[in-house]
Amino acid sequence: MTIFFQIAINGLLVGMIYALITVGLSLIWGVMNVINFAHGDFLMVAMYISYWLGFLVHMDPIISWIASGTFCFILGILTYRLIIRRCLSGPVLSALLATFGLSLVIRNFCLNRFSPNFRLLRKTLLGGKKIVLGGLYLPLPQLVTGIFALVVVFVIYYIIKRTRLGWAIEAVAMDKEAAELMGINTDKIFALLCGMSGACVGIAGGLLPSYLTVYPEVGVLFCFIAFVCVAMGGFGSILGALMAALLVGLVEAFGGFYIAPIFKYVVIFGLYLVVVTFRPKGLFGW
């Protein structure tokens, strides 16, 4: 029985990390109907920043996430200004494709500058430690990242639902032209959203070097899983993205143990297809 609960814990922790990465995508998609293909590469860039800070000035990831988050906030705004803004008037998927190009550029730029070497931080505050409760263990790096994830998701949810900014964002999501007529500066809102999206994935990337190795391709699988989580959660639903991410984490963990580890990701993608067959707009989408 302990194995069952251990797997559940593993799954939830992994799911929370997925959630942190997904929430940013969900924000942009729900309001601008844009999916950023380069999202995984933002994660990778954030991880590199956190790694370099850790390696050069011995700043622990538990602090360097601030730097990663800020950098990716700016990166998000730049991406909006230079690329996404111009795709908004075009066909629906053009931003996806344009950001695919961006992803190639970022990934190969990092390959070029940082070389393909695998970088791992030797000593971090959280690395290798765990909390043991009964027969179960909770790995500390994943636990802390998971807690950050929940906090960030709820902060964003709070902003959207309870603040004036959030109402402005929802207004834009519902009807862009009407919002503009009401005096809302949609351009600024979009830029802010892209920045927030970058910041979320930047925070995730800032914390991950506590236990993951950094290399140019590290963001790829996270990115695909984030796409699946965001689409499963549904258009316009932050909590949906969170639920979907947790579900994906659990399914991955249980499928990986009770079926076979090699089917882990097949099960995740299969889950998505099953969910959208019955709910074509995702679990909570509108």
Partner 1 sequence: MNKKDIYWYAFIAVLVAIPLIPAVAKNSFLGHVLILILLFASMSQSWNIIGGYGGQVSFGHSVFFGIGAYGAGMAVVKYGIMPWPGVLIGALTAAVVAVIISYPCFKLTGHYFAIATFAIVEIFNRLFMIWDWVGGALGLDYPLVEEGWKNFMWYETKIHYYYGALILFVLIFGIVRWIERNRIGYYLKAVREGQEAAESIGVNSTLVKLTAMAISAFLAALCGGFFAQYNLRVDPPMVMSLDMAMKFVLITILGGTGTVLGPLVGALILIPLQEYARALWGGLGGGVDLMIFGLLIIIIIVRQPRGIMGIISDVCSHVKKVKGIALETKGGG
Partner 2 sequence: MKNLKKKGILFITLTVFMLVSLFGGAAFAAEKVIKIGTLFPLTGPCALAGARCKIAVETAIEVINNKHPECKVPLAESEGVLDGYKFVLVSADHGGKPDVGKIEAERLFDREKVYTIIGCYNSAVTKPASFVAERRKKIFMCGCSSSAALTQRGFKYFFRLAPHDEIESREFCDVLIWLNKTKNAGIKTVGCIYENTEFGKHAADEAKKAAKAAGFNYTTDIPYSPGATNLDSEVMTLRAKNPDAVFGACLGSDYTLWVRTMKQMGWLPKIAINYCSGYQDPVIAKQLGDDGNYFTGGTGYAPGFADMMPAVAAVEDIYKSKVKLTVPFDSDSIQECIAMFILAQAIEKAGTLDYDKVRETLYANEWESPMSIGGKVVFVEGGQNDKAMSIITQLQGGKYKGVFPPESATAKIVFPIIPWDKR
88 binds partner 1 (CB under 8 A): no
- In the list partner 1, partner 2, none, the entry touching 119 (Cβ below 5 to 8 angstroms by class) is partner 2
256 binds partner 2 (CB under 8 A): yes
Please state the closest distance from residue 101 (CB atom) to partner 1, in A: 3
Out of 17, 23, 29, 173, name the contact with partner 1 by CB under 8 A: 29
Burial (CB < 10 A; 0-12, 13-18, 19+), residue 58, is exposed
- In the list partner 2, partner 1, none, the entry touching 86 (Cβ below 5 to 8 angstroms by class) is partner 1
Please state the closest distance from residue 232 (CB atom) to partner 1, in A: 9
Please state the closest distance from residue 138 (CB atom) to partner 2, in A: 9
Please state the closest distance from residue 251 (CB atom) to partner 2, in A: 11
Rounded to the nearest 10 degrees, the angle between the axes of helix 238-254 and helix 2-32 is: 150
Count of residues in contact with partner 2, rule CB under 8 A = 44
259 binds partner 1 (CB under 8 A): no
The mark string for 205-244 relative to partner 1 (x by CB under 8 A, - otherwise) is -------------------x--xx--x---x---------
186 binds partner 2 (CB under 8 A): no
Out of 3, 63, 92, 151, name the contact with partner 1 by CB under 8 A: 92
